[in-house]
């Protein structure tokens, strides 16, 4: 992983954390949110986000419940998933 990608992931993770705190989502000590919270932070409906997980197309997740949810997502994993999907006009 190159340094630019690492920096982008760090920046995105910080933004996700700030948004989670602002919206009063439960964030665990290891910076995880439940599936509903992860969907909210990424702008997806909970149903669509669940379908991504079930199809194996979503970000890495934990089968550890948090705040009433069965699955949870570390903010760094959400940030990595977002940044790894980033394309430039040269990518097409």
How does pLDDT run across 21-51, given as a tens digit for each residue?
Answer: 999 999 999 999 999 999 999 999 999 999 9
Q: Tell me the three-class secondary structure of 25-80, residue by residue.
A: CCCCCCCEEEHHHHHHHHCCCHHHHHHHHHHCCCCCCECCCECCECCEEEHHHHHH
Q: What is the pLDDT of residue 10?
A: 97
Span 49-70, pLDDT tens digits: 999 999 999 999 999 888 888 9
Map out the domains of the chain as residue ranges: 26-85
């Amino acid at each position: 992983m190159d340094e630019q990608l690492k920096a982008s992931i760090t920046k995105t993770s910080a933004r996700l954390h700030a948004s989670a705190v602002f919206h009063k989502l439960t964030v665990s000590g290891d910076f995880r949110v439940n599936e509903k919270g992860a969907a909210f932070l990424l702008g997806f409906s909970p149903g669509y986000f669940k379908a991504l997980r079930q199809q194996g197309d979503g970000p890495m997740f934990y089968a550890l419940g948090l705040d009433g949810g069965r699955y949870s997502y570390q903010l760094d994993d959400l940030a990595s998933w977002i940044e790894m999907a980033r394309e430039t006009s040269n990518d097409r």
